[in-house]
Amino acid sequence: MIKILSAEQIRRWDLYTIKNEPISSFDLMERASEAFVKLLLTKINHRPNVDVVCGPGNNGGDGVAIARLLIENGLKVNCHLIDFGVKLSEDCRKSYRKYLNISQVNIVKQSKELDLSGELIIDAVFGSGLSRPATGLAAEIIQLINQSSAKTVSVDMPSGLFADKVNLTGRIVEADWTITFQVPKLSFLTPESGFYVGEWSAVDIGLDPSFLITENSDYSIFEKSDIDRSLFIRKKYDHKGKYGRVLMVVGSLGKIGAAYLSSKAALKSGTGLLTVHIPKVGYGPLQTSLPEAMVSLDSEEEFITHVDNVDAFDAIGIGPGLGTNPKTGKILKSLFTSFNKPMAIDADALNLIALDKELIDLVPKGSVLTPHIGEFNRLFGECDNGLERIEKVKSIAIEKQLVIVLKGAHTVIATPDGKVHFNSTGNSGMATAGCGDVLTGIISAFIARGGDTSTSAKVGVCIHGWAGDLAEKTVGKTALMASDLLSALPKVFSNVESSDFI
């Protein structure tokens, strides 16, 4: 789990390391620059001409050090130091003097003096401590960087971007890649500000790990290595009842495919016994395509109007392909009040709740809601930006004692304890019909095992994205379909389950 810290927390982490290692702030800057260059060189398959654009602060000091290290590695570098009419920071001054031993620096006082003719730009104008929008000369410099056809790599942060909030006024560097120091910043993980970050990588610069252990943060990134393998251990004398009884309430005329995808995902995720409640129209297709599932038929031909005898189930997954017929909507209240165990609620079930918002207070505590942004907006109202939306997701999870999975590029899992986890797996090829249905089935299967639903959601989302990544390697992003995730799940679980005895 990677903790996400604020700019102020990272500043204090730097100071803690400087004091307790001990190390000088300048030597820490050198170490950070070395880590940056080491990673950068692994991605360069030829020797491009490089422009390094530096500001007067410590981020600029990093840039000057990076320019020097690139020259020492045989690259042709032009280092540009922007003169904003302020003094250089002490460490930037030291880095500048050290650079002058091997080359000259282009001092830029006007934007017309900046010649960006290289194939690669290193952006080191401003770092994570920026507190006001980039205007004036800074905005002009950033505009020149953005107008260049060169690839741009930002040092720690794209210049002009704030670390802890969305403020898109002023100019911001549109990086192709951001190499950030130690941990990612919160603004990397929202659609609006993440656009400027491009791809990102975090490099270890040797900050003291003891600081991170004791420092609190409500935000983290959930990684594949965080999956508890013990959740998937199957013992020799176990039986199918041990792995949960799941009821999927899914499907309507024209949407039986969603019923199939979510139900098969539940089975592929280890459900012991699966019952699928569908309208009559889906009986033939589902019974034929998924013989491992038991089928419960509604009295209605084209949509669902009742669900009875739910006490025997350990979890219910509801929503994929359900439709929004008013008669279907009426079953939600009876389900929420008669089933006192957590549920996985998705798609049209969320849309039905949005039509009758009093239903949200009847949802069993600990249930997992999996909206995309549009569904979330219909349920809880729109937000001005991604960070505001994350805060709303967090507050709703606490208030309603629910797990909210807000699907997106970095899916957000907000838990009732006030923690927010960003998923680290998945790719843009998964932005296609049916992938959310697969997720509902996976999470339903995990809930049915009786574990903590927060863990079920975090692990389910991670495994879902992992399956998407494996599928993308086989079929590519453009051709990826939800059924490809089903095909990839066995390999994911094989990877999770394989471990040494000790």
Identify the H or E element spanning 431.
none
User: Rounded to whole angstroms, how far apart are CA atoms 472 and 5?
Assistant: 31
* E-strand stretches of 14-170: 50-54, 77-82, 105-108, 120-124, 151-155
Question: 111 among the known binding-site residues?
Answer: no
**Low-confidence spans in the chain with pLDDT less than 70:** 499-502
Question: 425 among the known binding-site residues?
Answer: no
Nearest Cα to 346, choosing from 461, 235, 236, 239?
Answer: 461
Question: 130 among the known binding-site residues?
Answer: yes
Query: For 70-86, what is each residue's pLDDT tens digit?
Result: 999 999 999 999 999 99
Burial 247-268 (b: 16+ CB within 10 A, else e): bbbbbbbebbbbbbbbbbbbbb
Question: 436 among the known binding-site residues?
Answer: yes
CB atoms within 10 A of CB 106: 16
Question: 85 among the known binding-site residues?
Answer: no
Identify the H or E element spanning 56.
none
End-to-end alpha carbon distance in the chain: 22
Question: 452 among the known binding-site residues?
Answer: no
Question: 58 among the known binding-site residues?
Answer: yes
Question: 230 among the known binding-site residues?
Answer: no
Query: For 36-49, what is each residue's pLDDT tens digit?
Result: 999 999 998 888 99
Question: 60 among the known binding-site residues?
Answer: yes
Question: 118 among the known binding-site residues?
Answer: no
Tokens of residue 421, six digits: 């986890």
Please say whether the beta carbons of 447 and 315 come within 8 A: yes
Query: For 154-185, what is each residue's pLDDT tens digit?
Result: 999 999 999 998 888 899 999 999 999 999 99
Question: 241 among the known binding-site residues?
Answer: no
Question: 128 among the known binding-site residues?
Answer: yes
Please say whether the beta carbons of 386 and 419 come within 8 A: no
Question: 127 among the known binding-site residues?
Answer: yes
Q: What is the pLDDT of residue 499?
A: 64
Query: For 283-306, what is each residue's pLDDT tens digit?
Result: 999 999 999 999 999 999 999 999
Question: 488 among the known binding-site residues?
Answer: no
Question: 170 among the known binding-site residues?
Answer: no
User: Rounded to whole angstroms, how far apart are CA atoms 276 and 263?
Assistant: 7
Question: 59 among the known binding-site residues?
Answer: yes
Question: 239 among the known binding-site residues?
Answer: no
In the chain, domain spans: 2-217, 242-497
Homologous superfamily assigned to 242-497: Ribokinase (3.40.1190.20)
Question: 351 among the known binding-site residues?
Answer: no
Dihedral Cα 63, 213, 443, 231, nearest 10 deg: 130
3-state secondary structure of 470: helix
Question: 468 among the known binding-site residues?
Answer: no
Nearest Cα to 28, choosing from 41, 48, 38, 14?
Answer: 14
Question: 465 among the known binding-site residues?
Answer: no
**pTM for this one?**
0.94
* List of residues 6+ apart from 284 with CB closer than 8 A: none
What is the C-alpha R_g of the chain?
26
Question: 306 among the known binding-site residues?
Answer: no
Nearest Cα to 312, choosing from 334, 341, 287?
Answer: 341
Question: 411 among the known binding-site residues?
Answer: yes
Q: What is the pLDDT of residue 501?
A: 52
Question: 194 among the known binding-site residues?
Answer: no
Q: What topology does CATH give the domain 2-217? A: Rossmann fold (3.40.50)
Please say whether the beta carbons of 34 and 26 come within 8 A: no
